[in-house]
Structure 1
Amino acid sequence: MPSPGRASRFSPEAWLRQPSRHLTSSSRTKKSSKAGQPSQGTRKMHKFALILALIVMGTSLAAAQPSSNYSTLGGASLPGSEILKLTTSGKHDEARIKSLARISEVKDDIDAYVSLSWSLLALKRYKEAETWALRGYETRKDSRLAQAIGEASYYLGKNDTAIAMLQEYIASFPEGARAGLSFYLCGELYVRLAKFMHADIAFSAAVQHNPNNPAWWARLGWARENAKRLLPALDAYEKALALNPNLPDALEGKRRIQGRMQG
């Protein structure tokens, strides 16, 4: 008997082990019509106990499941639009893992491809970034994926592809989150190709997007200097030094320009 004031705890397993305890006194004395066979009442009680035990077990299992709608293994059900937020916040390795899981489940989630490609670029895994961006771009011609292809191609030395893809992104998103970077990369690509007037235009657009980047101002000065635009080059070097007085490229560039103008 349970102690007074304490409710007894029902255990389906214990109930199954001792079914005779729940039979009436008359059923204990009543013999089965066939020797060795349980009575009909006993069979019913066994069945009831089994069903009840299964219900209790099922409730316990359901309670043990994660409450989130997303898989705990890699976030396979997390939409690409949500994974992009991880990329934006700088959680690139987490974004990479969740993007791969999402793509394995939903092949045409373009946002997942974008997040994966941009995070791989941030992790300096350029060949992988190119591979996944191209795969997503084949699914849908999304200009964000064109940007990822262009950026990866820049680091992989594929100059023509890089320029074409970066220009596609800029045409679609001239004020986009990666527009400034895309203009800057175009400027570097034109420097590689010795097209310094083109580089001047691209770097000028880049510093419009990010006027507080002294390195970009110094690169603009270099492009203008090589395009023989000395006064605009000096202006760019001075803007770089206003932001970082110790920037070597800007200091050397300013000295060169002043020397040429005086000589």
Structure 2
Amino acid sequence: MRRVKVSSVSLPLGIRSPSGGASPGLRRAFPGKLGCVVFLGVFFLGLGPIPGVASQDRPDALVLYRQGQYQRAVEITLQELEENAANLDAYTVLGWSLLALNRYDEALQYGERGLRVSRFDNRIIHIVGDAHFRKGNHSAALQHLQNYVALAPEGRQLPHVYYMMGEIFLNFGEYNHADIALTQAVLLAADRAPWWARLGYAREQAGSKEGALQAYQAALERAPALPEALQGVERLQG
């Protein structure tokens, strides 16, 4: 702090003199009310940016994601994570955006970082499971998807989670397990014609001809030209 000379006594700039008034140096440097304004301005400038001000002007990453502006959402959430590496909401929107951009390696990378912050955050567990599924890491995907079901029995991602589990069991040749998972998926999202067709295939492979035919027909009720369902009905009735 700069010091000024006052009656042979050196006082820090802005400290009141023993007589009770502001130091002459301060009055000369910043006369009147304007001096107070200037002094306060200099003081706050010295403090640097006020925390939170920049983030208030930043676009909402979740809104950008919902608008389909996935790359912009990625940029915003990465900025948020630079400011707070434990921001689970930022990890979540970042993961969703990276999945939407088919950037599965990055979704997995940041998802695993998020799980190091909170291993029981079901949103991030779903992101990691989804990324593993899309990369073909079926065993790792199944573990995370089952964890999601256990942690979020009414979670909004349940239909898709059960569908992915069904596909994994089909890949493993575990057709009865695939039947169970895909049945849950279509119960939660009955409008998904392709899922009904996959359920029909699982039942067909498990030897349940009647159940398979019912599932294929349910698929055709929703999508009359769906090739997988048409072919399934033809096989079973041919």
TM-score (norm 1): 0.69
Q: Does residue 71 of structure 1 match 2:88?
A: no
Q: Contact 1:113–1:132 (CA<8 Å) still a contact in 2?
A: yes
Aligned partner (choices 129, 137, 142) of residue 150 of structure 1: 129
In the other structure, the counterpart of 1:205 is 184
1:241 maps to a residue whose letter is L
Whether the 8 Å contact between 1:150 and 1:162 is mirrored in structure 2 is yes
Check the 8 A contact 1:207/1:216 in 2, yes or no.
yes
User: How far apart, CA to CA, are the structure 2 residues paired with 1:149 and 1:204?
Assistant: 23
Q: How many residues align?
A: 205
* 1:134-174 deviation line (CA, Å, top 9, x unaligned): 01101111222111111100111111110000010111112
Equivalent-residue separation in structure 1 for 2:133 and 2:57 (angstroms): 30
> What is the CA deviation profile of residues 8-32 of structure 1, one whole-angstrom value per residue up to 9, with x for unaligned ones?
xxxxxxxxxxxxxxxxxxxxxxxxx
* Cα displacement (A) at 1:48: 4.8
Alignment partner, residue 140 of structure 1: 118
Deviation at 1:74, TM superposition (A): 8.9
C-alpha spacing 1:103/1:243, structure 2 compared with 1 (3 Å): same
* Alpha-carbon offset, residue 96 of structure 1: 1.4
> Within 1, Cα distance between the matches of 2:221 and 2:193?
8
CA gap 1:86/1:205 in 2 versus in 1, 3 angstroms: farther
In 2, distance between residues paired with 1:70 and 1:206?
44
Q: Which amino acid aligns with 1:232?
A: G
Q: Which residue of 1 aligns with 2:65?
A: 87
Amino acid at match of 1:203: L
1:249–1:74: structure 2 CA closer, same or farther, 3 Å change rule?
A: farther
Contact 1:74–1:98 (Cα < 8 Å) also in 2: no
Distance 1:143 1:47, change over 3 A: closer
1:167 is aligned to 146
Given residue 116 of structure 2, which amino acid in structure 1 is its aligned partner?
E
Per the alignment, do residues 233 and 74 of structure 1 end up closer, same or farther by CA in structure 2, a change over 3 Å counting? farther
Pairing 1:1-263 to 2, within 5 Å after superposition: 48=31, 55=38, 70-71=53-54, 75=58, 83-88=61-66, 90-141=68-119, 142-259=121-238
- For residues 247 and 158 of structure 1, the distance between their equivalents in structure 2, rounded to whole angstroms, comes to 28
Question: Residue deviations 1:204-241, cap 9 Å, x none?
Answer: 11111110010111111111110111111100100100
Task: Tell me which residue corresponds to 2:18.
Answer: none
Q: Is the 8 A contact 1:200 1:223 kept in 2?
A: yes
Instruction: Label 1:84 to 1:73 Cα distance change in 2 as closer, same or farther (>3 A).
Output: closer
Q: 1:90 to 1:171 in 2, by over 3 A?
A: farther
Q: CA RMSD in A?
A: 3.1
Say if 1:45 and 1:150 are closer, same or farther in 2 by CA, change over 3 A: closer
Code of the aligned partner of 1:156: K
Structure 2 distance, partners of 1:171, 1:88, is 27
Q: Distance in 2 between matches of 1:164 and 1:139?
A: 19
**Cα pair distance change 1:182/1:253, threshold 3 Å:** same
Letter aligned with residue 180 of structure 2: I
